[in-house]
Structure 1
Amino acid sequence: MAQALWLQNFIAVYSELSTDNLMSLEKIYHPDIEFVDPIHRVHGIAALLDYFSHLYQQLLSCDFVIDHILEAEREAAVYWTMTFRHKQLNGGAPISVQGHSRLHSKDNKVVYHRDYLDVGAMLYEHIPVLGSIVSAIKRRAAK
């Protein structure tokens, strides 16, 4: 089965996404997009573009590698590895986080996008003092 056009477009945009081309998100997201991640929930394309613009201002780089895709009719699960460099985290060194996105399409665009990822691995573990606490909690929970 050939991959749906909306999903092909999503993968193409995220494979090239950077601070220089955030407007390309308009090509893949429906005007009524609902975007949810572990930290925020935004509705509508204007709010999504503002959210991404704010996020990417703090990044030195951000790359997505698509690891696996499951597709059924108008929805998909996209498993990915994100590697980013943040101005204030990990001394600007790369941080890699695995996650996945649940996507629903409407009118050949993504109308619902929910990200699942470990926020501790992405953010909290790289903040001085807090990182030590989060790591200690994870070690204790693993016992």
Structure 2
Amino acid sequence: MTARHPEAHIARAVAYFEQMAPADLDRLGDIYAAQARFKDPFNDVTGLDAVRRIYAHMFEALESPRFAITQVIGAAADAVLIWDMNFSLRGRALTIHGASHLHFDVSGRIALHRDYWDTAEELFAKLPLIGALTRALQRRLATPPGH
């Protein structure tokens, strides 16, 4: 679903993420500011080239990654995108549910992109070997019913 939004820069970012393919990385500067900061559970980088490397690595490491933006909250300089990232890893289809906080500069480019998603639940628990350990740890740390 491509979210419709009254703010042109937010709508442009949503469309970019939903349609992103490796060839689109050449247009990253249309969406991100030159000194944009990108932070997610695995990365914390500043600068357009560093952000480009993160997306290039995503396309190299994952099979057919696609973002589906399910909700957009915000206006003016800030937006939160609620998304599903669908991809395959070694032939196994996976989905990660998450959210991104985007802060836009005065030119309407992303100056800050901060992703929020639970690596334990959304990724590690779905993988062989580490998944069994992650699920066991989650059970061990969960509050027992009735407490």
SS in structure 1 opposite 2:110?
A: strand
Structure 2 runs not aligned, ≥5 long: none
- Are the equivalent residues in 2 in contact too, given 1:34–1:41 (CA < 8 A)? yes
- Higher deviation after alignment, 14-23 or 109-118: 14-23
Among 76, 81, 88, the alignment partner of 2:79 is 76
Aligned residue for 1:51, secondary structure, equals helix
**Total equivalences in the alignment:** 138
Please, which runs of 5 or more residues in structure 1 have no aligned partner? none
Runs of 4+ in structure 1 displaced over 3 angstroms?
none
Could you tell me whether the CA contact under 8 Å between 1:61 and 1:86 is conserved in 2? no
Query: Which residue in 1 is equivalent to 2:139?
Result: 139
Length-normalised TM-score, structure 2: 0.86
**Share of identical aligned residues, percent?**
28
Post-superposition shift, 1:139?
Answer: 2.0
Aligned alpha-carbon RMSD (Å)? 1.5
Is the contact between residue 101 and residue 115 of structure 1 (CA under 8 Å) also seen in structure 2? yes
**What is the deviation of 1:67?**
1.2
Secondary structure in structure 2 of the residue aligned to 1:21: helix
Partner of 2:55: 52
Q: What secondary structure does 1:20 align onto?
A: helix
Instruction: Give 1 or 2 for the bigger CA radius of gyration.
Output: 2
Match of 2:22, SS? coil
Distance 1:97 1:55 in 2: 13
Alignment pair present for 1:123 and 2:123: yes
What is the TM-score normalised by the length of structure 1?
Answer: 0.88
Over residues 104-143 of structure 1, what are the superposed CA-to-partner deviations in whole Å (9 max), with x where a residue is unaligned?
A: 0011111100000011234322443211010111122333
Q: Which amino acid aligns with 2:97?
A: Q
For 2:94, the equivalent position in structure 1 comes to 95
One-letter identity of the residue aligned with 2:119: V
